[in-house]
Amino acid sequence: MDILDDESLTLIERNAETILSEVGIAFQEFPAALDLWREAGADVDGDLVKFPPGLCRQIITDSATEKYIQHARNPARSVQVGGDATVFAPNYGSPFVMDLDNGRRYATLQDFQNVVKLAYSLPQLHHSGGTVCEPVDVPVNKRHLDMVYAHIRYSDKPFMGSVTAAERAADSIEMARIAFGGDLSDRTVMTSLINASSPLRWDATMLGAATNYARANQACIVSPFILAGAMAPVTVAALAAQALAEALSGMAYLQLVRPGAPMVFGTFAASMSMATGAPTFGTPEAGQAIHVMASLSRRLGVPFRSGGQFTASKLPDAQAAYESAHTLLPTMQAGVNFVLHAAGWQEGGLALGYEKLILDADQLGAMEVLARGVDMSDNGQAMEAFFSNPHGEHFLGNRHTLANFETAFWRSDISDCSSYEQWMEEGSLSAAQRANARWKKLLADYEPPPLDDATDEELRDYVSRRKAEMPDEIG
């Protein structure tokens, strides 16, 4: 679904080219990137790079791919990123977790492992994600080893690597090589998040991680992170031009590092309260931004990441539900290919909610049915039912109804549609309370996917050796 016509999209693209050529993008403290840009014909002045009009777009269209397969340990769980596919991945980056029993607290490695197990157990999630929450009980320079190991050990779905330092990306690549049994040059097994330092900057941390992943043929989500009014002008058209300029420069850089490197055009766009400065989520302007950026991505011919189920609410309540819906529906209508934060996001991203994870996953199941479209087969048209049903009688006993009743409609795992009396008899539970019982049952019933003992031992040895090589860093 496009909400702007070609003329308007062309104007935004032209504005982005003006930003690239006349304002420029900073590639900070990363000389290798500056050298590549000089060789490609860009104007480099210190850290600031200005690009001849059309250069970034030409580099991308010459070598980038419209879609790729991210391989999972279990081949049946591999996913297509791009084209007509949508991949749902869970929450990312929260330092806190929250559940009804224990309230809000700093996340631990146990929480991280729990969320990986839940994402593995929830069929609505196609991807294990990355930093589903920050295990703050592990030293900051070592926790990436435990996180990548958890994704490999407790799930066989695709996963994301670490991006908080170039050497942590290198560790992620080596652990993936061990898990997948050899060289990765012919297959992509990680899709990892590379955020711009908006406005109009790429920092050395992100560039170092992105460079390592691109060299190893592992995918990067090149994603400006913008709160309109703070990291970009307040209008959707201006935000879109800036995000496009930042993304074009980042994606083109990856293609200079390795032509054909798999990548995703990403955006994270939200508004902010002009009264308090606090981020706001589920706003109509953010939904418009998703639509516009998705259109721009399709015109460029690369996969697109955006959307999710965002909320500023501190609880899995009505505010969380409607704000999340106001993000999820534009995500689906715009045809987003990779949906990070699809489940579990709470408190503006500061917390992962256990109950919110379950409630969100339930809605992802509804979105899968919505995206499937209308069945226009003979069974879908159901003409036989009209000829076989007596006039004026209901269709409950019709052959067509009996043949289809089990699969005719999406059914929620969480919603209560019973009578008031039955609801009272069953404990008069809220949706959050039902979700609380569901995540506990999923963890109680969890069984890990198979992992070769020798591979597991090699992974654990690698983690132990790398941890022993460096002192703890707290921060």
Q: Mutual orientation of helices 236-257 and 31-40 as an angle, nearest 10°?
A: 90
What DSSP string runs through 424-471?
A: HHTT---HHHHHHHHHHHHHHH--PPP--HHHHHHHHHHHHHHHHTS-
CB 413 within 8 A of CB 438: yes
pLDDT of residue 448: 97
pLDDT tens-digit series, residues 162-202: 999 999 999 999 999 999 998 898 899 999 999 999 999 99
pLDDT tens-digit series, residues 326-370: 999 999 999 999 999 999 999 999 999 999 999 999 999 999 999
pLDDT of residue 70: 98
pLDDT of residue 247: 98
pLDDT tens-digit series, residues 1-12: 899 999 999 999
pLDDT of 475 above 80:
no
Angle at 36 between CA 31 and CA 39, to 5 degrees: 125
b/e burial code for range 73-83 (CB count within 10 A of at least 16 → b): beeebbbbbbe
pLDDT bin (cut points 50, 70, 90) of residue 324 is very high
pLDDT of 78 above 90:
yes
pLDDT tens-digit series, residues 387-416: 999 999 999 999 999 999 999 999 999 999
pLDDT bin (cut points 50, 70, 90) of residue 152 is very high
pLDDT bin (cut points 50, 70, 90) of residue 276 is confident
pLDDT of residue 11: 98
pLDDT of 277 above 80:
yes
Q: Find, among 429, 451, 435, the residue nearest to 356 by Cα.
A: 435
What sign does the CA torsion over 171, 176, 178, 181 have?
negative
